[in-house]
Structure 1
Amino acid sequence: SVKYLCLEEVGKDIIKQLRVNERIRAQEVRLVGEKGEQLGVMPLTQAREIARKQNLDLVEVAPTAVPSVCRLLDYGKYKYEQAKKEQEARKNQKVSLLREVRLRPKIGDHDFEAKARIAKKLLANGDKVKVTIMFRGREITHPELGRKLLQRMIESLNDAASLERQPVMEGRRMDIILAPAATQKAKIREEIKET
């Protein structure tokens, strides 16, 4: 059967798949010491005996190799370190969301400025912003109004964002995608706190 894994389960699953001590099935193994030194190819029983004498676990790290590679290590400590690495990697991974700001072609100046401030806050949080112009009725016959409005938004957010996708017309909508300008994030946060 096919097994589907969530990203968070992958690291845990790899650790579970490692065979340890009595679960190793190979007859002959290539043994690697605790510090990475090669101890040579030997029968599995001899490798288990060496592990027992050193009070360590025998862990099969490369089961597909011929002969399979086993390493001497403290398995509990190894699992703990792997979990810590995984947790650190997850912590450093910033999820960027795509947020949307919707406008109409005949938006007033004050409303436009309010939408621009909202977009600026979203960009300061590190999210991408999709600016969408929604056309209704006969407004669709004047797409140049939408382009001008999007250009005005780009210019008003020039210090906070970089254009990721040019204006695209999809049905009755025209949109662009803006990504946060990395060097400006801290400066924008300070400006927002002041207002």
Structure 2
Amino acid sequence: MAQYKSAKDDSSQRTRLNQGIRAREVRVIDPDGNQLGILAIREALAAASEFGLDLVEVSPTANPPVCKIMDYGRYKYEQTKKQQEAKKKQTTFQVKEIKVRPKTGDHDLQTKLGHIRKFLERKDKVKVTVMFRGREIALSNRGRELLEQIAQEMEGLAIVEQLPKFEGRTMMMVLAPK
């Protein structure tokens, strides 16, 4: 049975146990999951010591707080396992950027489309940017056509997550894998 008042979880949230529980009355659950009812804190601590386990506050926001009689070390281990499983299930992706100009040639465009295809197959998002320099800003229609052509070429592999829009002297669109 742990003798410390409170322990710090990996989730940086304080879990109170044993003498660290501040409420006068708590709803107690025994190790088998059966409710023992609402008990004074002294009675709950006595019940926990009878089992040779810790009294752990599992729901501090409830009224009265819910405490469970359990092995705190095992509880902490199970919490870290749950966090690791949740972390495994998270999908990670990167946003790759491809830059083109309004006067980019056909061959260069085909090369860039190959790169975009490769990024999308790796499940990365692709931000396609058309950069305008100097007087090229007058060619904004050509830039929009270029982005629409790229979206059309990638129709089977990607969906347009963000439609073409201007940001300063650049026009951009975001493609996400299907």
Does TM-score exceed 0.5, indicating one fold? yes
1:106-143 alpha-carbon deviations (Å, 9 max, x no partner): 11122111111111111122221111111112221121
**Partner residue in 1 for 2:88:** 91
* CA distance in 1: counterparts of 2:111 and 2:9, whole angstroms: 43
Identity %: 46
1:27-84 alpha-carbon deviations (Å, 9 max, x no partner): 3222112233210122222211211121221011233434322111111111001001
Identify which of 132, 137, 144 aligns with 1:135. 132
Identify which of 31, 34, 37 aligns with 2:31. 34
Matches within 5 A, 1:51-66: 51-66=48-63
| TM-score, scaled to structure 1 | 0.81
Identify which of 109, 115, 139 aligns with 1:112. 109
Matched, 1:50 2:47: yes
Matches within 5 A, 1:1-195: 12-14=11-13, 17-181=14-178
For structure 2, which runs of at least 5 residues remain unmatched after alignment? 1-7
The structure where strand makes up a greater share of residues is 2
For structure 1, which runs of at least 5 residues remain unmatched after alignment? 1-8, 182-195
* CA distance in 2: counterparts of 1:83 and 1:66, whole angstroms: 27
| Contact 2:127 2:174 (C-alpha < 8 Å) held by counterparts | yes
* CA distance in 2: counterparts of 1:82 and 1:41, whole angstroms: 25
The structure where helix makes up a greater share of residues is 1
Q: How many residues align?
A: 171
RMSD of aligned Cα (Å): 1.8
* CA distance in 2: counterparts of 1:145 and 1:19, whole angstroms: 64
Following TM superposition, by how much is the alpha carbon of 1:172 offset from its aligned partner in structure 2, in angstroms?
A: 1.5
Secondary structure of 2:175's match?
strand
Which deviates the most, 80-89 or 66-75?
Answer: 66-75
| TM-score, scaled to structure 2 | 0.88
